[in-house]
Structure 1
Amino acid sequence: MTTSAPARQRSGLALYFAVTFATTWALWLVAIVLGAPGGPSSPIVVLGAFGPAIGAIVVRIRRAVRRQPAPARTVPLRLWPRLLLVLPMLVLTSATVLGGALLASLLGGPAVSLTGGQTLITTVGGPVPFVISMLIAGPLAEEPGWRGTAYPRMRASMGRIPAALLLGVVWAVWHVPLFFIPGTVQATLGLFSWSGLAFMVSVIPMALLTGYAYERAGVAASIAVHFAGNVTLALLSVSSPVTQAFIVAVQVIVAIPLLALHPDRQADPATGASNQEHASLPR
């Protein structure tokens, strides 16, 4: 029996989610039971954050063993000119967070301040450790999985916006155990609070922005967007549900048109490569 092209392209998606959630939640459950403090100083919590990357590795090994082509919607790393978009995406993401925070402040919400961010930088040992920890614990640990593996497989059967929204919901649920690990940002917010709810909702527009970034320049761009969002939120010490709501609104207003207006990449179902890429290959 011959498997259809879309089925082949989606192959591994269930395995990816199973490995990702099993790895992350098992490690974070151990942290909860042991009462391990969260944050960059907790090896077990940081290792759990790499669940998406581990899931991606497992799926890629399986694909290599079965000699399957890459999903049609995969954006190859070799498209180096697109990496020029990484910096603009980083700036755009930071601007959406700052813009939402400023708008909330102007309309009566908490004032925008870098005091909490400066304290955080001092606590972790300075700007360099801060940047490294913010880059590793979230973007590098997660984006090769969420956007580099799950997103193109979901795109095999749905549009950009539905794929990004659905993956955003899954991504938000993945964070739930962090609310029960002392010392994490999520535990500080509290799961059953307006701030906790706002955090869960805020993951979805970030999924839209990272999905758009991946469409334009691959995993490198989605890492930049994830990094920029986390860093800006940390520097501004955003915790107010009002501020979070305004940031969500700004990001949705920015991300939806970007995803909707971006030209779709046509794919060759037989090879899993886009027509644009296919034309540039030697014949």
Structure 2
Amino acid sequence: MTTEDPARKESGPLLFLAVTFATAWAAWGVAIALGQPAMSFPTVIPYLVGAFGPMFGAIAVRLRRAARRRSAPAHAVRFPLTGLLWTPVLLVVAAGTVVGGALLAQQLGGPPVSLPAALTLLETSGGPIAFAAVMLVVGPLSEEFGWRGTMHPRLRARMGLLPAGLLLGVVWSVWHLPLFFVAGTVQNAFGLLTPSGLVYLVSVVPMAVLAACGYERAGVLGAVVVHFGANATMSLVGVSELLPQALVVGAQAVAALVLLAVHRDRREKASAAHGPVREQPAPALR
């Protein structure tokens, strides 16, 4: 009977990152080379393929785990029935951070929040259903089975919720870098070496923690709802200037800290009711 190499056991995150970055950056490299707007043909094909990089990474990890007959990693959240109760709350929190930041920026002399502009966007997008479908697929569904559903629980098992969320946020931010060079993207409009571009890269980190809190409450569905709520509201409100960007980042950071505090309080109450929870050694990552 042989002992499996620990490095081999812990290579799941490395496999995920390798597949995620390789597929996304290769596809987006093609989109950059084509030089056309992201949503124009044929650039839209590599642009969308790249967006599914985390999904490809998740599939690769799951296929290998199945081949090795490994169990799910520690802290993997399967879909809980209570998640259905949390999803509307998470949606309101995610959207509220954007609306709150934008309205505060307006009060401080920033750009006004325009309802007619939001309605025009919905109309030009083919209506509310088409808009919601695009915003749901490109980002939430294409990414969250990877970032939160696959990578987060593996990091969570080693370093806790907040450090895992912060680290994954940094990785997630770096992953977006090629989009600054794809014409027609939000990132390209900001520009990489500009205040707005740098704030965008920073903004991914509190969003990652917020999505991680959503995952802890309602599994992948919770992370998808948070991602969708923030992205869709950002588009509708039209957050594109530095002041509202910065205030939205601050609002998301505060919301994430509140959810973390609620999560910790719930665990402490559970410990008080059922006795102290004995820490078990973290299993090897798979």
> Does the alignment reach a TM-score above 0.5?
yes
Number of residue pairs aligned between Structure 1 and Structure 2: 270
Give how far 1:3 is off: 5.4
Task: Pick closer, same or farther for the CA change 1:212–1:159 going to 2, 3 Å.
Answer: same
Q: Which residue of 2 aligns with 1:22?
A: 22
Q: Which residue of 2 aligns with 1:197?
A: 198
Q: Which residue of 2 aligns with 1:277?
A: none
Equivalent AA in structure 2 for residue 85 of structure 1: W
Paired with 1:87 and 1:7, the residues of 2 have a C-alpha distance of 40
Paired with 1:269 and 1:118, the residues of 2 have a C-alpha distance of 53
Paired with 1:89 and 1:132, the residues of 2 have a C-alpha distance of 19
**Retained in 2: the 8 A contact 1:101–1:246?**
yes
**Retained in 2: the 8 A contact 1:72–1:269?**
no
- Residues 1:50 and 2:52 are matched in the alignment: yes
**Retained in 2: the 8 A contact 1:63–1:69?**
yes
Q: Which residue of 2 aligns with 1:35?
A: 35
**Retained in 1: the 8 A contact 2:169–2:204?**
yes
SS in 2 for 1:235: helix
Give how far 1:90 is off: 0.4
String of CA shifts for 1:223-277, please: whole Å, max 9, x gaps.
Answer: 00000000100000100111010111111112123224414597866989xxxxx
Task: Pick closer, same or farther for the CA change 1:69–1:195 going to 2, 3 Å.
Answer: same
**Retained in 2: the 8 A contact 1:24–1:49?**
yes
Partner of residue 65 from structure 1, selected from 64, 67, 73: 67
Give how far 1:104 is off: 1.3
Matches within 5 A, 1:164-183: 164-183=165-184
Unaligned runs of 5+ in 1: 273-283
Task: Give the structure-1-normalised TM-score.
Answer: 0.89
**Retained in 2: the 8 A contact 1:114–1:237?**
no
**Retained in 1: the 8 A contact 2:158–2:282?**
no
Matches within 5 A, 1:120-139: 120-139=121-140
Paired with 1:211 and 1:120, the residues of 2 have a C-alpha distance of 29
Equivalent AA in structure 2 for residue 35 of structure 1: G
Equivalent AA in structure 1 for residue 47 of structure 2: V
Task: Pick closer, same or farther for the CA change 1:194–1:270 going to 2, 3 Å.
Answer: closer
String of CA shifts for 1:160-190, please: whole Å, max 9, x gaps.
Answer: 1111011111111111111111111111111
Task: Give the structure-2-normalised TM-score.
Answer: 0.88
Paired with 1:158 and 1:49, the residues of 2 have a C-alpha distance of 27
